[in-house]
Amino acid sequence: MVSHYLEAIYYIANEGEAVRSARLADWLSVSRPTVTVGLRRMSRDGMVRLNARKEIELTAKGRRMAEAIVRRHRIMERWLTDGLGLNWVTADEEAARLEHAVSDVVEKRLYDVLGRPRTCPHGNPIPGHSKTAPNEVRLTKLHAGARASITRVSEVAEREAPLLLAYLHERKLVPGAEIAVLEVDGVGRTVRVKAGARQVTLGQDTAAKLWVVPS
């Protein structure tokens, strides 16, 4: 579906990654030829284009469409977690099913009923209602002794590593949590942090999926 392509391109680009056909194929679990055909149609319809580095970009039209999909998904996640009490992983899976069946009227009403939330449960901003913090960085950018507040969990982790979502939630590494970096092991490629009374050792790949604002 075109919506899946738009959503994937939006998420990958917003994490600062280059969007290429191979990356999309991995994300969507389809073959590269399938992605090529899909992108050709989207380019014809004015949704995507290639930049000078041969990376895939959303056009203004494509971005508007992608933001509408992402906005609906994140509002649905809020309802499923805050209203129905579902956990992060289940809420994300269910929101992916429901986002295409909800009308604009229901979306807007649900947003109001939820108290006009600014982010999804994982801290990612809701397009049209909020933006990422201008001074946030990946946890891997911090040095030992630094303190920070977690702002969000990467959308890449949300979609590609649902078990990681559960892992972070269980260890209270969630938006709003205050952390202290105890150790950065460049050889073992780990980061040890303290959140509350608990110490957690994260691999560099996992730490890179947590965005924080330094204190």
CA distance 162 to 158: 6
- 29 within a domain of the structure (yes/no): yes
How many structural domains compose the chain? 3
- 147 within a domain of the structure (yes/no): yes
**Tens digit of pLDDT at every position of the chain (215 positions):** 799 999 999 999 988 889 999 999 988 889 999 999 999 999 999 999 999 898 999 999 999 999 999 999 999 999 999 999 998 888 988 998 888 888 999 999 999 999 999 999 999 999 999 988 889 999 999 999 999 999 999 887 766 667 788 888 889 999 999 999 999 998 889 999 999 899 999 999 899 999 999 98
- CA–centroid distance for 26 within its chain: 16
Describe the strand order of the beta sheet including 147-153 as a list of residue ranges: 137-138, 210-214, 147-153, 178-185, 190-195, 198-203
Domain that holds residue 54: 2-58
CB environment 70-80: b (16+ within 10 A), e (fewer) = bbbbbbbbbbb
Beta bridge partners of 184: 191
- 63 within a domain of the structure (yes/no): no
| 183 token code pair | 């150790």
Q: Are 212 and 191 in contact (CB under 8 A)?
A: no
- Which residue, 17, 34, 58, sits at the end of a domain? 58
- pTM of the full structure: 0.87
98 and 150 fall within a common domain: no
List Cβ neighbours of 42 (8 Å cut-off, separation of 6 or more). Answer: 2, 5, 6, 48, 62
Handedness of CA 140, 145, 146, 148 (dihedral sign): positive
- Which residue, 131, 151, 176, sits at the end of a domain? 131
CA distance 45 to 207: 38
- Domain of 187: which CATH number? 2.30.30.90
SS3 of 159, please? helix
**Nearest Cα to Cα of residue 3 among 49, 54, 38, 29:** 38
144 and 124 fall within a common domain: no
- Domain of 120: which CATH number? 1.10.10.10
> For the purposes of burial, counting CB atoms within 10 Å of the CB of 134, is it exposed (0-12), middle (13-18) or buried (19 or more)?
exposed
13 and 54 fall within a common domain: yes
Handedness of CA 23, 25, 31, 35 (dihedral sign): negative
